[in-house]
Amino acid sequence: MTATPRIEEIRSRADAATPGHWGTSYDGKGTYSVEAQPRLIPGVGNVDNGVVATLSGEHGDGQTYHDATFVSRAREDVPFLLDRVAELEALVQGMTDPDPCYFDHHGYCQAHGWAATSPACPHGRAQALFPELKES
């Protein structure tokens, strides 16, 4: 289970997007096209499975290049990051004690042996991120 519905919304958008790999092409006049599955076929030339986005700027405009690169790489970067988030969420959930924190007069968590007030007890912080981990 994820910590927020937003993760699932992002994954749904990524799953619905045009399949990758995406790449870019430049028209020499300031416009970049982000293309789905660009490739070179000998004897045919450059082909792709459609233009995903077009970004226009001025010739020599470095920002448009960087934006086009960001968009084209997002097709593979976003699923990678979502998978990494899921992996780390599972790790945190597996390492979290579901017992509630209880604090002494110094503000230290006695339940988990956490003798600091800042940062707060990591078990309590994980329980705040994942309410389903709290002891019922």
Judge if pTM exceeds 0.85.
Answer: no
pLDDT of residue 105: 93
Spatial CA neighbour of 101 closest among 117, 84, 80, 77? 117
For the chain, domain boundaries: 1-95, 96-136
The pLDDT of residue 13 is 97
Distance separating alpha carbons of residues 78 and 84, to the nearest angstrom: 10
The pLDDT, as a whole number, for residue 135 is 66
Which portions of the chain are predicted below pLDDT 50?
Answer: 1
pLDDT at 79: 97
